Amino acid sequence: MPTLVRKTLVEYRRALIGWTVGLCAFLTMYISIYASMMNDPETFSKQAIAKYPGAFRDLMGGMSDIATGRGYLQAVAYQLLGPLLFTMCAAILGNRAIAGPEEARTLELTLTLPIDRRRLLLERWAALALGLLAVALVTLAVATGAASAAHMDVPFGSILAAHTGLFLLVLFFGTLTLCVGAAFGRKQVALAVVGVWGVAGYIVETMGRSIDAISWLRWLSPVHYYLDGRPLYQGWPYGDYLVLLGATAVLLMTALLAFERRDVGV
């Protein structure tokens, strides 16, 4: 493993451990609730649907099958809250790659070492990707174990497909954070771009299914390529996942070009 990648992972270790523990606690707590609701699933389903207005149900994926193992796991782990928390983790780590050190005035010192900007950014991104992959693997194991303990009867292959999509989505947003930070050198700008694109993309994807005026915008949302294939229900949407990978690669190339062409610290 390259020295800079290893050094960056060491810098990330506290954040990675903290986010992993937090995500695992979230998954364990919410998935475990399913076992208690199975005492009266029909009543729970009706109460859950009646409790929330139609627009909110759309944002939560409809909730029509929340009393089933797949429906509940989708709603609590893979629809909104799980991706939101994991994306926050990716954005924070992405900001620590370039924008954070630049605002702290330590990036200029790093650039005095015998390492070019391209290698610096690529190895920082590699550390980001490895860190997110580690979090994804641990949370996958926890989600699988918790789902099994709650007797959800969701096959591991389905959970793996959904979790892979979640990893690709947060890798996209982590790379977007790094890209904006490499272009502007400001953490707040990067967080604003990720926040707006993420929230707007999610709303467009969920509401655009029933509102024709914004339905075409779904194709511009990375969330569309994560949710539309319904991996927890239908398996691997290879085409959608390839789009997410391709978009991430474009962002990485954009980050390289932007970082090489601007003055750091200006």
Whether 85 has a pLDDT exceeding 70, the answer reads yes
Confidence of residue 266 (pLDDT cuts 50, 70, 90): very low
Encode pLDDT of 11-22 as tens digits: 999 999 999 999
H or E element at residue 121: helix 117-149
Q: HSE (CB half, 13 Å, CA atoms) of 192?
A: 5
CA distance 127 to 129: 5
Q: Which two three-digit tokens encode residue 76?
A: 């609590």
Q: What does the mean pLDDT of the chain come to? A: 87
**Can you give the residue ranges of every domain in the chain?**
3-260
Q: Which two three-digit tokens encode residue 134?
A: 């580690």
CA distance 169 to 175: 10
CA distance 187 to 177: 8
With left for phi above 0 and alpha for psi between -120 and 50, is residue 230 left, alpha or beta? left
Can you give the pLDDT at residue 48?
58
CA distance 116 to 1: 18
Whether 169 has a pLDDT exceeding 80, the answer reads yes
What percent of the chain is modeled with pLDDT above 70?
86
Confidence of residue 71 (pLDDT cuts 50, 70, 90): confident
Can you give the pLDDT at residue 78?
93
Q: Which two three-digit tokens encode residue 71?
A: 């429906």
Encode pLDDT of 104-118 as tens digits: 888 777 767 777 888
Encode pLDDT of 125-168 as tens digits: 999 999 999 999 999 999 999 999 988 989 999 999 999 999 99
| 115 backbone dihedrals φ, ψ, rounded to 5° | -145, 130
DSSP of 164-226, one letter per residue? HHHHHHHHHHHHHHHHHHHHH--HHHHHHHHHHHHHHHHHHHHHTTT-HHHHGGGGG-HHHHH
Encode pLDDT of 229-247 as tens digits: 999 999 999 999 999 999 9
Can you give the pLDDT at residue 2?
74
What percent of the chain is modeled with pLDDT above 90?
56
**Angle, vertex CA 242, rays to CA 28 and CA 196, nearest 5:** 65
Q: If you average pLDDT over residues 177-198, what whole number do you get?
A: 93
Q: Which residues contact 228 (CB under 8 A, 6 or more apart)?
A: 205, 218, 237, 240
Can you give the pLDDT at residue 61?
60
